[in-house]
Amino acid sequence: MSYVRIWLATARYSIIRTLMFRGDFFVWSLVELFWMTVNLLLVSVIYQHTESIAGWSKYEMVLLVGTSMIVQRLLMGFFWSSIFEMGRNVRTGNFDFFLAQPGNVMFMATTRKLDPDGLINSFVAGGVVIYAVRQLGLHPGVLDVALYLFMLICGLAIHYSILVLSTSLVFWLTSAQGVEGGYFTLTEFSRLPREAFKGITNTLFVWVLPVVVVSNTPARTLLHGFEWRWAVWLFVLASAWFAFTVWVFNRGLRRYASASS
Residues 6+ apart with CB under 8 A from 59: 132, 135, 136
Q: How confident is the model at residue 180 (pLDDT cuts 50, 70, 90)?
A: low
Q: How confident is the model at residue 126 (pLDDT cuts 50, 70, 90)?
A: very high
Torsion, CA 140, CA 228, CA 39, CA 178, rounded to 10:
150
Total number of domains in the chain: 1
Cβ burial 192-228 (10 Å sphere, 16+ → b, else e): bbbeebeeeeeeebbeeebbbbbbbbbbbbbbeeeee
Task: Residue 106: give the domain boundaries.
Answer: 2-255
Residue 260, domain member (yes or no): no
Identify the residue with better confidence: 172 or 182. Answer: 172
The DSSP annotation for 123-142 comes to HHHHHHHHHHHHHTT----H
Identify the residue with better confidence: 216 or 205. Answer: 216
Residue 114, domain member (yes or no): yes
Q: Hey, which residues does 56 pair with through a beta bridge? A: 53
Identify the residue with better confidence: 185 or 133. Answer: 133
Residue 19, domain member (yes or no): yes
pLDDT in tens, 241-252: 999 999 999 998
Residue 134: its pLDDT value, please?
93
Residue 147, domain member (yes or no): yes
Specify whether the CB–CB gap between 205 and 228 falls below 8 A: no
Residue 100, domain member (yes or no): yes
What does the chain come to in residues? 261
- pLDDT of 185 above 90: no
- pLDDT of 64 above 70: yes
Which of these, 223, 257, 49, 79, lies nearest to 159 by C-alpha position?
79
pLDDT in tens, 82-122: 888 887 888 777 888 888 877 889 998 898 888 888 888 88
Residue 182, domain member (yes or no): yes
Q: What percent of the chain has a predicted confidence (pLDDT) above 70?
A: 95
Residue 174: its pLDDT value, please?
65
- Amino acid letter, 137: G
Residue 172, domain member (yes or no): yes
Residue 181: its pLDDT value, please?
62
Return d(Cα 177, Cα 30) in angstroms, integer: 26
- pLDDT of 258 above 70: no
The DSSP annotation for 169-215 comes to THHHHS--TTHHHHHHHHHHHTTS-GGG--THHHIIIIIIS-TTHHH
pTM reported for the whole predicted model: 0.87
Residue 61: its pLDDT value, please?
92
Helix, strand, or coil (residue 50): coil
Longest dimension (CA), the chain: 63
- pLDDT of 28 above 80: no
Residue 261, domain member (yes or no): no
